[in-house]
Amino acid sequence: MNKKNVILIGFMGCGKTTVGRELAKNINFRFIDTDYMIQKEESKSIEKIFDTFGEQYFRKIEKNVCYRVSNFKNCVISTGGGIIKSEENMINLKKTGTIIYLRATPQKIYKNLKYDNKRPLLKNKDKIKIICDLLNERSYLYEKYADIIVDVDDNSPFVLAKIIKNNIKSIL
């Protein structure tokens, strides 16, 4: 199988979508966002899906979308922060692409999401606490599945896209 996708994983608010769009433009790949696909498919925002059907339902749709995007080629695929919770998702993604973990500190994530109210897992909660707790739970998974880890805190999306491009030259 042709391993020719670039898959961005990382915590909410680490910049997967912005960096992904920039990278796709730079390397002439199509940009895909799994959350966007889920919303289109359900004709509802992520928030509404969580509110109406709950997280488990969302994860089911996410798994389905993940399976489908694994068959795409020459795409930069930005994924939801919880995609790594399913080993099946990651096995599918790994088969078809290079996985890049955009690693951000809790401080950076908090700064990016301070005023956000679109993330159901953080809404009306003690944001910094949830960010730290979830990062504690998930960091090792992001690192375990990553082919390449890129620290995002001190770089703009523009620079990050360049760094990634330089790192994936062998697959382009």
Residues of this chain that interact with ligand S3P (CB under 6 A) are 12, 16, 35, 46, 80-82, 119-121
Rounded least distance, CB 83 to ligand S3P, Å: 7
Q: What is the DSSP string of 76-126?
A: EEE--TTGGG-HHHHHHHHHHEEEEEEE--HHHHHHHHTT----TTTTTS-
Alpha-carbon span 32 to 165, nearest angstrom: 17
CB of 16 or CB of 108, closer to ligand S3P: 16
Rounded least distance, CB 66 to ligand S3P, Å: 11
CB of 38 or CB of 168, closer to ligand S3P: 38
CB of 19 or CB of 164, closer to ligand S3P: 19
Rounded least distance, CB 170 to ligand S3P, Å: 27
CB of 3 or CB of 52, closer to ligand S3P: 52
Angle between helices 127-145 and 87-96 (to 10 degrees): 50
CB of 17 or CB of 167, closer to ligand S3P: 17
Give the number of other CB atoms < 10 A from CB of residue 50: 18
Residues 6+ apart with CB under 8 A from 162: 26
Rounded least distance, CB 88 to ligand S3P, Å: 16
Determine which helix (DSSP H) or strand (DSSP E) holds 30, and give its type and residue range. strand 30-33
Rounded least distance, CB 157 to ligand S3P, Å: 14
Q: Are 67 and 131 in contact (CB under 8 A)?
A: no
